[in-house]
Amino acid sequence: MGAEVDFSGTPAFQVLSSGEQRVPFIFNSPHSGRCYPPRFLAMSKLDPATIRRSEDCYVDELFAAAAALGAPLLTANFPRAYLDVNREPWELDPRMFREPVPPFANIRSPRVAGGLGTIPKLVGEGLDIYPARLPLTEALSRIEDIYKPYHACLAELLVGTREKFGYAILIDCHSMPANIRVGDGPLRPDFILGDRFGSSAAPALTQHAVALLAEKGYAVAHNKPYAGGFITEHYGRPAERLHALQIEISRGLYMNERTLERTGRFQALANDLKDFVHGLTRIPEQHFLTMPLAAE
């Protein structure tokens, strides 16, 4: 038994689309999955509410308008506490498993050290997910049966989009705690946009996104403290006409972080994000097609 069984009745992930893709954008929500397999919950020492503390609650719903506007939306149904696809495939903590991890595993990344590897050790403020070590086969199953197919799907969407439009833009959608500050200052941003300090996307894309959100009255930060995770870094290759921008939304804008319930501001934010997606996808293609395509 493993990941294949956990998601035999519900797909581990899905692509939402209204039919033909009309814009060179792909939206991705890798951390909003809220299907917690009974087998996984039985393994955990946490109750069903506490284990959701690392979930990007409802981000897939906030960006649901993307599909209607002609941009595919890839969404995870598996939870982040179960598997984090915004990591390298083998960022594994050897202390979590009964057997030795593969020799090629990245066991020394800062994310592993923080308990947030491909198979997370912690949720929320340092809460251990498991009461004991796991069999290594558990990690292998999740990586082989879900992680790799998820990234294969995302890569296929990006390559197909570039073939159709000449370039592709990935918007990686996340949420963050409302108490996040920028540096030591008082600013608690509503949004943080990450482009790996300019390396994952054409500057015009980030500038356009910042302007659209600022016009709505939101406080927007850039790259600090979130510059973009593995997905943004791995798929953002402007020289190959593949651009990636990460968006972090303050959960205080739309939900109660204690109860995880949507607040009365949820729909207003969803409407603003629909306008944002519409405006973002209208950015002139000259910013992307004029970039030289790297040699294969």
Domains (range + CATH), the chain: 3-285 (3.40.630.40)
Handedness of CA 105, 111, 115, 117 (dihedral sign): negative
Which DSSP string corresponds to 175-202? EE-TT--STTSS---SEEEE-TTTTSS-
* b (16+ CB within 10 A) / e for 128-145: ebbeeebebebbbbbbeb
C-alpha to C-alpha distance for 248 and 254, rounded to whole angstroms: 13
C-alpha to C-alpha distance for 24 and 169, rounded to whole angstroms: 6
C-alpha to C-alpha distance for 205 and 207, rounded to whole angstroms: 5
C-alpha to C-alpha distance for 287 and 268, rounded to whole angstroms: 31
Whole-number Cα distances in Å, 260 to 29, 56, 82, 130, 252: 18, 10, 18, 22, 11
For the chain, give the mean pLDDT: 95
Confidence at residue 186, expressed as pLDDT on a 0 to 100 scale: 76
C-alpha to C-alpha distance for 156 and 175, rounded to whole angstroms: 25
174-202 confidence digits (pLDDT tens) = 999 999 988 777 779 999 999 999 999 99
CB 51 within 8 A of CB 129: yes
Residues in the chain, pLDDT under 50: 296
CB 244 within 8 A of CB 228: yes
106-141 confidence digits (pLDDT tens) = 999 999 999 999 999 999 878 999 999 999 999 999
Using CB atoms within 10 Å of the CB of residue 61, give its burial: 0 to 12 exposed, 13 to 18 middle, 19+ buried: middle
